């Protein structure tokens, strides 16, 4: 067996399980990320049918290796930002949206002697461990899923992107969705699939999936939002953004716009439109509570999944070349989230200036969504942009 058994890994030494080793990382040198890859003749036939051409096992192994490398880069970028002091506003904002607390928070359950000093460092530690699982070649991949290969994967691989198992070994079985993404050149989806499964492997075998601190989807939300990538709706639903009093954020501006749409459309609310400034203060909380009460939700003043689902969509300001400010910043960030689904990385500098590069990306976005290609971010363009 190429990795320690789970029982050996779970032995306590007075520190948290996050402080325990996972494999023998750091001693692999130039060992490839994908050391263990199995693809039988019948499995190759399955994949060839999806991608529409003959394929070799080595070709598929290379595709998985490249996707694994991209996911490690995203994870490393996100972890590194949490390991510096002081942390940037950008890092804290994205962390807050994923975990509903600041990275400097020290959990009451932090044990004495733990190697991490605050929640941000704990998240960074866990992300580094996930990156090591991927980068160290500890995962055995199967190009087509089955319960024989991955005992916990009882579903049909024709219906999933990938499935993981961690009982004694670290296993990932790939499915239809992963290879369709490869066929379409969607490297971001391939990388995010491996990241998602590696997170489940780590959390399934160490701290379990409980609360936001142990919710692998929340770690994925942080990584994706930090790298300004598109967040799959299923992941967003599994770790919804929970907005409440906290630091300035662009999602709060979106919340304020949506509340304003409701205020203007509803007679008798008694509320004046909010200032769209990204600050979650008394008036924003009061409007949110009133909206929640009006639509039959608990008026807790927290914008969670149910609240977002009931709020009306409201586009940002119409923007064109020459515009500057926070509306442009929000536009650029959302365009980068979309670009992440196309290129697997951000392409546009977020500088709050609507210049020629921003205009070019707007035009590309409009073309991809069958909109009028004029480079102007109007209501129809905003409606197609991904939400925070």
How many domains, the chain? 3
Q: Cα separation of 326 and 250, whole Å?
A: 8
276 pLDDT above the threshold of 80: yes
**Could you give the C-alpha distances from 144 to 178, 188, 383, in angstroms and in order?**
10, 20, 37
229 domain residue, yes or no? yes
Q: What is the pLDDT of residues 359-372, one digit of tens each?
A: 999 999 999 999 99
224 domain residue, yes or no? yes
- 144 and 175 housed in the same domain: yes
Question: Length of the chain, please?
Answer: 388
Q: What is the pLDDT of residues 12-47, one digit of tens each?
A: 223 445 555 444 333 334 457 999 999 999 999 999
304 domain residue, yes or no? yes
Q: What is the pLDDT of residues 207-221, one digit of tens each?
A: 554 454 567 888 999
- Decide: helix, strand or coil at residue 137: coil
- 141 and 172 housed in the same domain: yes
153 domain residue, yes or no? yes
Residue that is last in its domain, among 238, 261, 278: 238
Which CATH number do you get for residue 289?
1.10.101.10
Residue that is last in its domain, among 204, 238, 272: 238
- 160 and 191 housed in the same domain: yes
- 234 and 254 housed in the same domain: no
Looking at the chain, the whole-number percentage of residues with pLDDT higher than 70 is: 86
Burial class, 355, CB count within 10 angstroms (exposed 0-12 / middle 13-18 / buried 19+): middle
- 218 and 284 housed in the same domain: no
Residue 364: give the domain boundaries: 326-384
- 104 and 170 housed in the same domain: yes
Residue that is last in its domain, among 238, 258, 293: 238
Q: What is the pLDDT of residues 321-351, one digit of tens each?
A: 999 988 898 899 888 878 766 655 557 888 8
Q: Cα separation of 200 and 307, whole Å?
A: 27
Give the pLDDT score at 1: 19
- Decide: helix, strand or coil at residue 171: strand
245 domain residue, yes or no? no
Q: Where are the beta strands (DSSP E) in the chain?
A: 36-38, 139-142, 162-165, 170-174
318 domain residue, yes or no? no
- 166 and 91 housed in the same domain: yes
Structure tokens at 207: 């701290």
């Amino acid at each position: 067996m190429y990795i320690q058994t789970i029982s050996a890994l779970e032995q306590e030494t007075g520190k948290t399980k996050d402080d325990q080793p996972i494999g023998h990382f750091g001693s692999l040198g130039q060992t490839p990320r994908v050391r263990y890859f199995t693809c039988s003749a019948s499995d190759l036939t399955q994949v060839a049918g999806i991608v529409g051409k003959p394929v070799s096992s080595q070709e598929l192994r290379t595709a998985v290796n490249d996707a694994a490398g991209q996911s490690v880069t995203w994870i490393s970028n996100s972890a590194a930002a949490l390991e510096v002091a002081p942390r940037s506003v950008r890092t804290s904002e994205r962390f807050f949206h994923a975990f509903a607390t600041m990275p400097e928070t020290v959990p009451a359950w932090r044990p004495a002697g733990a190697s991490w000093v605050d929640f941000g460092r704990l998240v960074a530690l866990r992300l580094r461990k996930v990156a090591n699982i991927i980068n160290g070649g500890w995962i055995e991949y199967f190009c087509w899923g089955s319960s024989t290969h991955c005992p916990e994967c009882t579903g049909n691989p024709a219906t999933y992107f990938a499935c993981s198992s961690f009982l004694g070994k670290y296993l990932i079985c790939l499915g239809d969705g992963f290879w369709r993404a490869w066929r379409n050149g969607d490297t971001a989806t391939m990388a995010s699939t491996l990241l998602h499964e590696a997170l489940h492997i780590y959390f399934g075998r160490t701290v379990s999936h409980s609360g936001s601190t142990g919710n692998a989807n929340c770690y994925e939300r942080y990584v994706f939002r930090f790298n300004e990538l598109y967040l799959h709706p299923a992941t967003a639903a599994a770790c919804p953004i929970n907005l409440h009093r906290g630091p300035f954020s662009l999602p709060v501006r979106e919340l304020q716009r949506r509340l304003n749409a409701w205020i203007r459309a509803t007679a008798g609310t008694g509320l004046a439109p909010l200032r769209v400034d990204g600050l979650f203060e008394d008036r924003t909380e009061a409007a949110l509570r009133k909206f929640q009460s009006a639509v039959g939700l608990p008026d807790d003043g927290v914008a969670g999944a149910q609240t977002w689902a009931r709020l009306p969509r409201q586009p940002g300001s119409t923007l064109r070349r020459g515009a500057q400010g926070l509306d442009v910043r929000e536009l650029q960030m959302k365009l980068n989230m979309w670009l992440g689904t196309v290129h697997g990385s951000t392409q546009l500098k977020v500088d709050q200036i609507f210049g020629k590069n921003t205009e070019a990306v707007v035009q590309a976005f409009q073309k991809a969504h069958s909109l009028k290609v004029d480079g102007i971010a109007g209501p129809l363009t905003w409606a197609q942009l991904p939400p925070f």
